[in-house]
Structure formats: C-alpha cells, structure tokens
Chains A and B, each alone.
Chain A
Amino acid sequence: MTTQIASQSRGRPSGAGDAPTSTGSRATRVLGILTIVAIATLALFGLVLSPADANQGDAVRILYVHVPSATFAYVGCFLTTLGSALYLWKRSQWWELVAYASAEIAALFTAVTLATGMLWGRPTWGVYWVWDARLTSTAMLLLLLLGYLAVRRLPAEPSVRSKRAAIIGLLLVPNVVIVRQSVQWWRTLHQKPTLFANGLDSHIEGLMLFALFVGFVAIGLLFTWLLVHRFRLAWLEEQLDEQGLDLAIAERRAEAAAEVAADTGVVAP
C-alpha cells in the first residue's frame, strides 16, 4: 500500500529531463520517501512494539493516527483562514491557492478523524457515536469546510469566485472557535466531563508516547506532501482557466476582426 505512493510521487522519468509532466519535483520525491518511511515506522511502533493500554486495551492504537489527523485538520483550517486573509489583504493569488488546497486536505483529515474516532468509540464506549463535545464540534468543522469547498468550486469568474471563497475562508476559524465553545458549554453543562478525560491522558508513557510522537511526524509529513501536490494541482487548474479565457477572448477578437473586415469590404466599393 505504501510503496504505491512512492512510485506515484517519484514521477515518470522523463527522457528529455526538462520540466516534469507531473506535480512532483525532487523535493516532493524526497518528502514522499520520508513520509513512507515515517508511516512504516508508525505502523511498527503503533501496531506492534507499543503495549496495549491498561484501560482501553488495543483500541489505543487507533489514537496514534486519530490524534495527529485531528491536529493537522486544525492546522489546515488555520492555513485556510490565513491564506484567505492574506488574499483579501494583499491580493495574493498564491495564498488563495494555499487556502483552497489546505481546505480540501483539512476536509479529508477531518473525515478521517471522524471515521477513526467512531471506530475507537465502538469498542471503548460501546457505540459509534456519542454527543461528545469533541465529536460534535469535529462534525460541525467538516460541514463548515464542505461549505467553503462548495463555494470555492462553483464555476465562476476566477476573481469573483476567489473573493467569495476568501470571505467564507476568513470566517472559518472564528466559526470553528465559536462553534466549539458553544458545543463545549452545551455538553458540559449537562453531563460530567467527557469520556476522553480518563481515556488518553491517564496512562500515556514510554513507548506509547513515542508512538504518538511518530504519528505526529508521519501525519505531518503526509500533510505537507499532500499540500504541496494539491497546491500545484490548484495552480495548474488556475492556469488552464486563464488559458481557456485567453483562448476565448482571442477567438472573439478574431471573429470581430473578420466581421469588421467583411463590413468594410461591403462598404468600400
């Protein structure tokens, strides 16, 4: 499974050696290999070497991928808001693409976080879903991200689309903060502190802590690798949009010129 990423990221060796026909580059190839090594290490420590938790048993092994995914989902949201803000402030297309790319990756990471969270909850709590503050606010986060992506992907004139998306992106982190806060109040006013409280924090030491650390490194590398590729893909999409626009304008001009020529041709004699 992991080797496939490697072959994908390495790219096809192009004969002439000029610009690559992919979103890869030497830097991303190195990054991709590091990512695979890190994920293999994570699997080794998370699934084999680290002991089962005293309370949760083997379910704790899910957390080695769950917690880093959640963290980088939030990093992605932060990048989206930062990128949107810098786009609105400096009119920097580059940052707008960063915002878009990281929103998509953040949505992926959030979905993964939810899925692994549910798979962790089933053996630990006996149910896939509880209306826990973190679970609920993560679900809301996914919906907020999907809203941003829906706006960003609407077919529209690039500058219009970017501006609309950037306003939504700018409000993303404030929304996440206020939704989290309200959900937290909502749940904690009614029931005792969440079940997580005696889950992750109580017995974490030694190899388990190291496995979690490897998880952060591996998922962080993966996040970066995906972000670079997705950013380049977004850049290509943007270029193609512009090309299409230029082409259409050129065609209209040619048409207009032909018409003018025809008109003058009729009038002249």
Chain B
Amino acid sequence: MELQTRIIEDTLLVKIVGELDHHSSEDIRNQIDKLLSSNSIINIIFDLSHMNFMDSSGVGMFMGRYKKIKMKNGIPVMINIQDSNRRLLKMSGLFNIYQEYKDLDDAILAIRRGSDE
C-alpha cells in the first residue's frame, strides 16, 4: 500500500494505491491524521482509482476520517470509485456520509460551491 497526498487550497487529496485492510489502515490513518492536524485543511477527497481491495477495516478508517472532517465543518468526498469496491461502500452506509464525485475536477468545484454557502 502506498499513500499519495496533495494539498489543494484547504482540501487534502488522498490517493490510496493498493489494498485497504486492517494491516494497511493503521498506517493510512496515522499519515492522514498527521496532515489533518493542520488547521488550514478543512476538506478531504479520497481518490479510490487505485484502491484494488478493501474490507470492513477500511470502512472503520473512512468513518474515523469522516468524524474528523465533520468536526472541522468540512466536506468529505470520494472520487473515482471502482465497481469492485462499490458494494461494500454502499452496504456500510459510507455513501450517506461521503459525497461521491466522478473525478477531481468535479469534486473541487463542488467543494468550492459548498464552502461559499
């Protein structure tokens, strides 16, 4: 598993490359939370285009990051979701708390609109 992160304005973009399970989620959680401790980051976008496996440990990781973003009054987003991951994301109710957008451009536009409201 490899995590690629980038900060775009007040949004943290996180690309998960590889598998999200109990083993890798601890590492991912630590890396993200270090970046989220900065007050200038409000929103998070998870790019799932290269996440080729996830299980319920991953669900726990996404729920935990959702809580952190909500405390900042930010917007949690997922983009580029693969069909193979969709079933578990849906079953776990993550689509009720994360906004889904097709790609990064759509997500950034939506976040800018959301922040203006």
- A and B physically associate: no
